[in-house]
Amino acid sequence: MELSQKPGILFTGGNDKGVVEWNLKNNVFIKVMFPVAASVYAIHCPAGYPLLFAGLRSGQVLVFDFLQQKVIKSLNHHQKPIFDIKSVKNKKELLIASEDGTVSIWSLDGLELLHTIKVSADTVRSISISPNQKQVAFGCRDNHIRVYDLDDYTIIKTLTGHTMAVFALQYSPLGDYLVSGSRDAQVKIWDSVTFELLQNIPAHLFAVNHIAFHPTLPYFASASMDKSIKIWGADDFKLYKVISREKGYASHLLSINKIAWDEDNLISASDDKTIMIWKVQFD
């Protein structure tokens, strides 16, 4: 699930063999943009480019051009599933994380492979790029977070503390800390300069699948396999709201895999094959 570069448009993908475009103004289906031969695990729309990248379970990454309204290329480097895709705006580079333990780096202009870095002996599940574009953090299935220098892709630090795979990573909007979420159900807050663990939050009952910061207010949301979404203070790390069936909401029936903020609306995608949009009220 990914918001478009164009306001009011959402893209989703799953195991039903297609990437779908939705209109958020009236919450209606627009079209299936293109078919895929395998499940879609990651979608990314880089700012400043008329492109959508779809990472597949097969290891392929399909490149859709909005101007031409068609798939213009397939990046066929990885042989194992793609779990995350992010772009570095000031370097015009695309980062693709795979189950093969590597991250491939591509030119956004020419769509050619520039480098490959071996991050882990196991799957790289998540990518987060610091707001100043000086660091990139990778969450890995081996329980570790590895932080690299974005100038030359040398490793800066390995963060240890989670006891299971790291599924979610997100730098704070100011870049002063990094939030990680894991299959161990914990959310951890790391200082992005000293890399010290600032706080551990026993956030959920099961895996933390995704983390997203509110675009303007000091809050972030976490989504979990326990079928709940929780809203936390980005300055005090306190719990402010729980969205779940247990709390009386007509929420998801299965694991919540991705979330995204569209202004004050929080969009969630679940294994129950539904997308829900929440109007979050802040006190």
Q: How far apart are CA 65 and CA 215, in angstroms?
A: 27
Phi, psi dihedrals of residue 129, rounded to the nearest 5°: -110, 130
Say how many C-beta atoms besides its own lie within 10 A of residue 17's C-beta: 13
Question: For residue 193, what are the β-bridge partners?
Answer: none
pTM given for the model: 0.96
Q: How far apart are CA 188 and CA 158, in angstroms?
A: 14
Please check whether residue 18 lies inside any domain of the structure: yes
Instruction: Give me the pLDDT at residue 193, please.
Output: 97
Q: Are 22 and 7 in contact (CB under 8 A)?
A: no
Say how many C-beta atoms besides its own lie within 10 A of residue 40's C-beta: 23
Question: How many residues in total does the chain contain?
Answer: 283
Please check whether residue 241 lies inside any domain of the structure: no
Please check whether residue 95 lies inside any domain of the structure: yes
Please check whether residue 199 lies inside any domain of the structure: no
> Please, which pLDDT band fits residue 17 given cuts at 50, 70 and 90?
confident
pLDDT digits (tens, 9 = 90+) for 29-45: 999 999 999 999 999 99
Better pLDDT: 157 or 282: 157
Please check whether residue 78 lies inside any domain of the structure: yes
pLDDT digits (tens, 9 = 90+) for 84-109: 999 999 999 999 999 999 999 999 99
Instruction: Give me the pLDDT at residue 282, please.
Output: 84
> Please, which pLDDT band fits residue 15 given cuts at 50, 70 and 90?
confident
pLDDT digits (tens, 9 = 90+) for 202-235: 999 999 999 999 999 999 999 999 999 999 999 9
Please check whether residue 77 lies inside any domain of the structure: yes
Please check whether residue 70 lies inside any domain of the structure: yes
From the list 214, 222, 215, 157, the residue with the least C-alpha distance to 188 is 222
Asked whether residue 283 carries a pLDDT value surpassing 80, the answer given is: no
Six-digit token string for 84: 């995350």
Please check whether residue 91 lies inside any domain of the structure: yes
From the list 158, 160, 198, 162, the residue with the least C-alpha distance to 178 is 198
Question: Strand order of the sheet with strand 187-191?
Answer: 166-171, 177-182, 187-191, 197-201
Question: For residue 129, what are the β-bridge partners?
Answer: 136
SS3 114: strand
From the list 86, 18, 19, the residue with the least C-alpha distance to 9 is 19
Q: How far apart are CA 177 and CA 250, in angstroms?
A: 33
Number of alpha carbons in the 13 Å side-chain half-sphere of residue 41: 23
Q: How far apart are CA 272 and CA 22, in angstroms?
A: 18
Domain containing residue 16: CATH number: 2.130.10.10
Our count of domains for the chain comes to 1
Containing structural domain, residue 40: 1-118
Q: Which residue has the tokens 């039903």?
A: 16
Q: How far apart are CA 158 and CA 137, in angstroms?
A: 9
